[in-house]
Amino acid sequence: LLESTIKDSMQEYLLRQLPQLKQMSKDFFRAVRAQVEEVPFKKWSVIFAKGDKAESVYILEQGSVIEHDGESCALWELPGELDEPGSRGFAAKNSPPRVMPGEAFGVECLTDKAATASYTLVAQTDVVILRLPKEVVWSVLHEEREHISRIPLLSEHVLGKEEQYMLVGKLRPWSFPAGSLIMREGEIGDMLFVIEGGVCDAIKVIDGHEVVV
């Protein structure tokens, strides 16, 4: 049980290193976390190929990977196959091995739905990867951002994209039954409410009478 708790905490920490998830509220993060899959790859396996449509973000959990600037059919160019790390041939075709847990690959798919891989990612050792489908993050962040962008106070004319993403990441879903009081006139507010569905009445007291404005 302790080992499982530690592993879950480590995976949550690694996921939180993604800029799009760093400031995300616990409720939204929990929904994203539930869709993350832990996937093992054997040594020299192609995790994704150059030119593939980027469908997921891959976060390194264990092992070592290489960004190969070549087609997936040219794995003979990789170290251990022909060139050795440090050789001129290897350096010309590949970046240094990536071994730090939490390094993320394919993150461009979180900002561009049409993004394609600019390199082939290969497992240099047996590796364990956390795979996060892009649609999960798009549904939480981008659709919510588009929603708040229609509000003049929160539009792109007032806030930059990064500020909007940070704001969206802080949003939490609230449900109010019909007839509920959400906030009262004259109270000092410490929360911003954005109506996502339903209808609300704004009521103001004028000359001692409540008037729907």
**Could you tell me the two tokens for 142?**
């981008």
Residue 93 has a pLDDT of 54
Instruction: Please return the burial class of 166, using the count of CB atoms within 10 Å of its CB with bins 0-12, 13-18 and 19+.
Output: middle
Residue 64 has a pLDDT of 92
Paired with 105 in beta bridges are: 58
Could you state, in chain order, the average pLDDT of each consecutive group of 10 residues for the chain (213 residues)? 85 89 80 93 94 94 88 56 47 64 90 89 94 88 77 87 76 82 85 83 86 82
CA angle, 142 then 143 then 144, to 5°: 90
Residue 30 has a pLDDT of 87
Residue 90 has a pLDDT of 45
Cα 59 to Cα 111: distance, rounded to the nearest angstrom = 17
Cα 198 to Cα 114: distance, rounded to the nearest angstrom = 33
> Side chain identity at 33, as an amino acid letter?
R
Cα 4 to Cα 200: distance, rounded to the nearest angstrom = 45
Cβ neighbours of residue 42 closer than 8 Å, sequence gap 6 or more: 123, 126
Across 124-155, b (16+ Cβ under 10 Å) vs e yields bbebebbbbbbebbbebbbebbeebbeeeebe
Residue 139 has a pLDDT of 79
Cβ neighbours of residue 168 closer than 8 Å, sequence gap 6 or more: 140, 141, 144, 145, 148
